[in-house]
Chains A and B, each alone.
Chain A
């Protein structure tokens, strides 16, 4: 096994196998011009649309503030609200399961599916199941999990990984998708064009038979209401509605932070989420269910409550705010680093700025990938500005950097720099030495965490002071003399 698997927290969220640390992955991604073009187009478009959708509401700032307060309150009393949720779901005919980590959650889901005797299940796109690597774990039990969200299906057919929270196939353009469907989707028609409408139609035909015959579905949850036991899934295509209502058994895996105290809070979050994520006043479909309803929808409902590091994050005074995240992905679309590096470079299901603070907190900064993530940012603050629940991502990044940069070489370099910069004579000496050593610069290996994330600017032959003295020697002297 890789060294990552030895990490104590490795069972929480798999680091993508063989994934290099962010700087290396980003270097490779930046060189991929097609990826950059796809990303620039997509993030640029959605960024503008989102700004317009948000500007429509005069009280956006107040909604954002209320969203932040409600989430903070829920996190403070998380145990209280989880107990309440458990009671209400059970009362409404559902069964609640608790999972400390990914392994436990996957084992519960696999067991529940086996008890139905099924070997194929349909899935609604869900970050929680991505996080725990559910599809791979089920495959080991001989269970096929079929992704039904169009973008997730594209990613699954390509044996690829999602690169965006909302539009996981954002890195692929229509021509790539057409080729993929033609080769990997048995029901794809001859002469399939690369028109999005035709591609969506091919997916509709491919999935319809599966929806109508599936006995078991697996979903995540966008929100859970503690005082009623209601679960909500927010979506666009209707694949969610298909999975949530047609099968006999529904298994929902939910991070324990997805809770809201009361149904009234939906008036805040159902305004914040669609406008922030898809730039719509409202997404096409939202489904809400409470336990089971006789004669309508699944007659067996299981809710798996997933901790997977969240209780650790909650104990972090600064980092806790990451648990307010409602997975809207607005921070990805405004991030200059994400737009160039792409989602895969972050080495986890959570890409972009939120991934840079969530993954190292859930997994711990034990691995190279996780130690590099707090540096995968320019700290420009755009992510904080657009965050609908006001997560101060830069603040958490700086906090995590301080944790990652506690090694001796970096401290030493900083001390030497301070000594050199305190005296003009020392600075001049340093500059002269640097000028002479400039041919060596490309071969230098500085402390890697620092140098790997930055390109060294070319060092001039002489310093500005030396150049001034050489070319303006007289005037400098005269001034000195006057």
Chain B
């Protein structure tokens, strides 16, 4: 007998209708923990993870992004609006095929922000690029529009297509493995800078 048949055989077929019972599962928890002030809450919670948060207007964004750059070049994935990077010299903007080990950072958008947990979700669609772009370079600049900020996980997950590759980011890479002291930047980007428009 194959392992598959052996395991499924052991599990048997209980009586009942799993799909109907699933729909009836009691969920007494809150769908939302927060009403107003989501953008403020999001900014506060992101900053709590020691990410750098900038509150900017649409007009201020290009200048703020350009001012945040360190030395070297930055990867700009497809779909990033030309207006965002208008203040950055073209020679410092590279396409997604750039050698990620040699670039200083990446500038991306995101799919969803979650206020309660201070989480930014990338679904690696337009303006976000493949997953490695936001992982290998040391400096991640991410633009979050106010209308992308959801209240809580239920709200945030509801806006996502779960079958896309997803990356949930809550602050920069961190470890607490040595005496539970938090250290930022173990493998992922050491600096996460959020531009909240």
Interface, chain A (partner B; CB < 8 A): 38, 41-42, 45-46, 57-59, 62-63, 65-66, 69-70, 73, 76-83, 92, 98-100, 104, 148-151, 154, 167, 169, 173-174, 177, 196-197, 199-200, 203-204, 207-208, 211-212, 225, 228-230, 236-239, 241-242, 245-246, 256, 261-264, 266-268, 270-271, 278, 280-290, 293, 295-297, 305, 307, 311, 314-315
Nearest residue, chain B, Cβ from A100: B3
Interface-facing stretch out of B64-72, B84-92, B141-149, B172-180? B172-180
Q: Are A288 and B181 in contact (CB under 8 A)?
A: no
Chain B contact residues: helix, strand, loop or mixed = loop
CB B177 to nearest CB in A, in angstroms, measures 4
- Neighbouring A residues of B165 by C-beta, 8 Å: 245, 287-290, 293, 296-297
- Neighbouring B residues of A59 by C-beta, 8 Å: 28-30, 33
The answer to whether A92 and B163 touch (CB under 8 A), given A200-B175, A281-B116, A311-B11, is yes
Q: Are B186 and A203 in contact (CB under 8 A)?
A: yes
8 residue pairs, one from A and one from B, having the closest CB atoms: A238-B188, A79-B11, A238-B187, A62-B28, A286-B168, A282-B117, A151-B177, A311-B10
Counting chain B residues whose Cβ lies within 8 A of the other chain, the interface size class is 35 or more
Interface, chain B (partner A; CB < 8 A): 2-4, 6-8, 10-14, 16, 18, 21-22, 25-30, 33, 45, 48-49, 101, 114, 116-119, 124, 130-132, 135-136, 152-154, 157, 162-181, 183, 185-189
Cβ-defined partner of B153 (8 Å) among A199, A270, A287: A270
Q: Are A236 and B22 in contact (CB under 8 A)?
A: no
Query: How far does the alpha carbon of A261 sit from the alpha carbon of B153 in the complex, in Å?
Result: 17
CB B127 to nearest CB in A, in angstroms, measures 15
Q: Are B181 and A196 in contact (CB under 8 A)?
A: yes
Q: Are B176 and A278 in contact (CB under 8 A)?
A: yes
The answer to whether A167 and B177 touch (CB under 8 A), given A82-B11, A83-B8, A282-B168, is yes
Query: How far does the alpha carbon of A242 sit from the alpha carbon of B187 in the complex, in Å?
Result: 8
Q: Are A98 and B163 in contact (CB under 8 A)?
A: no
The answer to whether A242 and B180 touch (CB under 8 A), given A263-B162, A293-B165, is no
Nearest residue, chain A, Cβ from B2: A98
- Neighbouring A residues of B25 by C-beta, 8 Å: 66, 69-70, 73
Cβ-defined partner of A297 (8 Å) among B48, B131, B163: B131
The answer to whether A237 and B167 touch (CB under 8 A), given A65-B28, A98-B2, A262-B22, is no
The answer to whether A290 and B185 touch (CB under 8 A), given A77-B18, A80-B18, A174-B179, is no
